[in-house]
């Protein structure tokens, strides 16, 4: 049984070979297989899942987007299958993601997060812990564990993830994989996450 099976199609929000009118991306059979083989890292993949909407300094950069970020045509799962089941597809991209796409980046896929982004352990009781390339059994850290693992293993060139509680939740997991993350101003991510607590003062 797929990790996503309690909440939707195996390949994610799009069926194999289908396109999303909102993102004009496509999910292939190979993408679906990659999700089945690595469900702790990915919720849905595409080739690309979301194409660039412009050209600029990020041309050719593929991204893993944390499963808290609004991606047009896709649901937000927040690391919980029940939340995913009850969510509706997003009507538009988060403002921060839209800027990345306008600068030439593409979205390779939506990557896992700790359940409801409440932990820094990088493990998820529903989907497991994504691999840390530095050794079997090593945790990545969280809650942006999925994007960090994907970047560290060379599956994508970059990751995007909102922060919570005034701290960067992308820096701990990237440090755990000996990667590099930059904390942007909190205002950049204020309207990024579609998870309700992101509208509170302690989540951005």
Instruction: State pLDDT tens for residues 26-84.
Output: 788 999 999 999 999 999 999 999 999 999 999 999 999 999 889 999 999 999 999 99
pTM score, whole prediction: 0.78
Edge to edge, the sheet with strand 106-111 lists 42-50, 106-111, 62-66, 158-160
Give me the domain span that covers residue 137.
29-199
Report whether 169 contacts 144 (CB < 8 A): yes
CB 41 within 8 A of CB 117: no
CATH number for the domain spanning 133: value is: 3.90.1300.10
Domain count of the fold of the chain = 1
H helix intervals, 52-94? 81-86
Task: Tokens 């679906």: give the residue.
Answer: 32
Evaluate whether residue 80 is within a structural domain.
yes
Residue-wise pLDDT tens digits, 114-131: 888 887 777 899 999 899
CA–CA separation, 196 vs 199, rounded Å? 6
| Alpha carbons 190 and 162: distance in angstroms, whole number | 8
């Amino acid at each position: 049984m797929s990790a996503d099976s309690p909440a939707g199609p195996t390949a994610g929000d799009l069926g194999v070979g289908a396109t999303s009118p909102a993102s004009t991306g496509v999910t292939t059979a190979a993408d679906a297989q990659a999700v089945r083989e690595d469900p702790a890292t990915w919720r849905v993949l595409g080739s690309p899942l979301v194409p660039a909407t412009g050209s600029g300094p990020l041309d050719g950069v593929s991204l893993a987007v944390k499963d808290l970020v609004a991606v047009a045509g896709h649901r937000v799962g927040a690391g919980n299958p029940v939340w995913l089941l009850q969510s509706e597809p997003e009507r538009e991209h988060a403002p921060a993601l839209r800027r990345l796409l306008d600068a030439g980046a593409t979205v390779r896929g939506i990557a896992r997060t700790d359940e409801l982004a409440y932990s820094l352990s990088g493990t998820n009781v529903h989907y497991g812990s994504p691999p840390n390339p530095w050794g079997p059994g090593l945790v990545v850290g969280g809650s942006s564990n999925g994007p960090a693992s994907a970047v560290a293993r060379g599956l994508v060139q970059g990751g995007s993830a909102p922060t919570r509680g005034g701290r960067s939740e992308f820096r701990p997991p990237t440090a755990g994989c000996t990667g590099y993350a930059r904390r942007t101003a909190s205002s950049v991510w204020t309207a990024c996450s579609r998870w309700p607590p992101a509208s509170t003062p302690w989540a951005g």
